[in-house]
Chain A
Amino acid sequence: MSREFNIDYVFSFIPKMLSYLHITLFIVASSLLLGLIIGLLVALPRMYNIPFLKRVSQVYVSFFRGTPILIQLFLVYYGLPELLKLVNINSSRWDVLWFAVATYALNSGAFISEIIRSGVEAVDRGQIEAAQSVGMSGYQTFTRIILPQALAVVVPVFSNLVIANLKDTSLAFTIGAMEMTGKSQTLGAATQHFVETYIALSLIYLVVSLILQKLFKVLENTLLKHEHRDTVQSEPKKRKSFVVRYLNPRLSKGGKSI
């Protein structure tokens, strides 16, 4: 099936694949950015209970959370050109990368809308009322009261989403996108050293996701500073473990598991 294992190939493959890392990261970053916009647009009708749009956004979220990303990739790859044809746009010469980005954006949009919703809902209603009673406008309440607290709650879940997204990009090769996994396929086929290819690729994914995890941990700690301030003397750890232990399992419904 494949040739004798030779560790040297692992080391020689790593730099070759690393030169495609930026494409993988580009897919992750651009899909998250677009997903953030989509997520916000989708979360709003549900938070403000807008009759028809609320239903639409529910179906959207349910569909993208209820189907495998692989199927979504193929749906977008074959479906989007048809939709674009309706408005007289010819997408036949577009880079497949854009279809991958579109799929991951639509997918993360569904998860992000859930994250936004759960984050906003996690803020105590009494605080919002208090903010309004001292005369804050809706915008002020949102930016000064809701957002800082919602962000702190949401960061761990968001970090899971980003890492899940990174791992999901490994599927983009199925529609022919040339990112790291796509490159590994050609390397494996050319040298017949498949095991080494996938070991090298796994190591890259592992290191990147560990770095991302660390970065989000730092961000989380910064955002949770205000949670510590009044409890530093008595029980510095308890406050944080409350968030981690009680809110995370509830919010994880908004994140992907695998």
Chain B
Amino acid sequence: MSLDFGFIYTAFLGLFSALPNTLIITVVSVLAGLVIGIITALARIYKVPVLSQISHGYVTFIRGTPMLMHLLLIYFSLPLFIDAGARHFGWSFHSKDVPYMVFALISFSITSGAYMSEVVRSGIQSVNRGQIEAAYAVGMTTWQVLRRIVFPQAFVVSLPNLTNSVIGMLHGSTLAFTVSVTEIQAQAEILASTNWKYLEVYIAAALIFWGLTVLIERISGLVEKKINVFNGGRAS
């Protein structure tokens, strides 16, 4: 096998220029997803009339279809809406002024939101109902109950799922290459096709992702340990 080990290192350095985009996609989609997830999860837990049905449909659809579909649907349909709006209201910007990155961020946030919704829901439902009733009994408002009693405990329980979601979004960010966002996968394709060294480049890309994933798992492990100390080791 003719593997150019020197080039793996070169590719490794070359791929680092695309790392910020990968991280931006991951962080933004996880944070936006968390906001969407909390809203949809609360809507479903409190059975808010119309909102809970919409949330249920949204979560089912997103979890039942590949992430690639969400990206391509947003990428091809959002411009139609923007251009229709521009024609109708006389906006000064058109779909071609929107950077590709924006489409990726919107679509990944929507994807992540559905998965986060399930993470948040299972976390919140793991909190003992008696505690919530007790909190109400001592006169806390719903917001206080959520903030002081439910969320801290739900966070501990859902940390492993949360970590999985973060890793899932990190890995999912590789799909952004389909809409021409230069993240690691796209950069790898560029490097590979200009140097004709495909295997080496993808080995380097895999090493970067592997390293990032292990790092995220380590950090999550440390956080888990910290929280469990705080909880007297009875977190889960």
A181→B203 CA distance, assembly (Å):
26
Q: Mark B1-40, 1 if CB is under 8 A from A, else 0.
A: 1110000000000000000000000000000000000000
Q: Give chain A nearest CB distance to B167 CB in angstroms.
A: 7
Task: Please tell me which one of the listed residues B122, B164, B214 contacts residue A257 in the complex, with CB atoms under 8 A apart.
Answer: B164
- Evaluate contact between B160 and A68: CB separation under 8 angstroms: no
Stretch at the interface among A49-57, A202-210, A225-233: A202-210
| B202 partner residues in chain A, CB cutoff 8 A | 71, 74-75, 78-79
Closest partner residue, chain A, to B209 (CB atom): A67
Q: How far is the CA of A250 from the CA of B161 in the complex (A)?
A: 9
Flag whether A249 is at the interface (Cβ < 8 A): yes
- Chain B nearest Cβ from A172, distance in angstroms: 11
Q: Select one of A71, A79, A198 contacting B174, CB under 8 A.
A: A71
Chain A: minimal CB distance from B129 (Å) = 12
Q: How far is the CB of A157 from chain B (nearest CB, A)?
A: 12
CA distance A100 to B95 in the complex (A): 35
Q: Report B232 CB to chain A, min CB distance, Å.
A: 18
Cβ of A83 under 8 Å from chain B:
yes
A1 to chain B, nearest CB (A): 5
By beta carbon, the residue of chain B nearest A258 is B168
Residues of B177-225 contacting chain A, CB below 8 A: 185, 188, 198-199, 202-203, 205-206, 209-210, 213-214
**Smallest Cβ distance from A225 to chain B, in angstroms?**
24
A 57-109 contacts with B by CB, 8 A: 62-63, 65-72, 74-75, 78-79, 82-83, 85-86
Question: Which listed segment binds B: A25-33, A117-125, A140-148, A163-171?
Answer: A163-171
B206 touches A72 (CB 8 A): yes
CA distance A63 to B199 in the complex (A): 16
**Cα–Cα, bound, A245→B158 (Å):** 12
Kindly identify which residue among B73, B126, B167, B168 contacts A198, using a CB–CB cutoff of 8 Å. Answer: B73
Binding site for A on B (CB under 8 A): 1-3, 60-61, 63-69, 72-73, 76-77, 79-80, 95, 111, 115, 122, 125-126, 157-158, 160-161, 164-165, 167-175, 185, 188, 198-199, 202-203, 205-206, 209-210, 213-214, 236
Q: Which 8 pairs of residues, A with B, have the shortest CB-CB distance?
A: A258-B168, A66-B213, A68-B171, A167-B66, A170-B66, A257-B168, A257-B164, A206-B64
A-B contact sample (5 more), CB < 8 A, given A201-B69, A206-B64, A213-B64: A1-B79, A67-B171, A71-B185, A83-B1, A250-B236
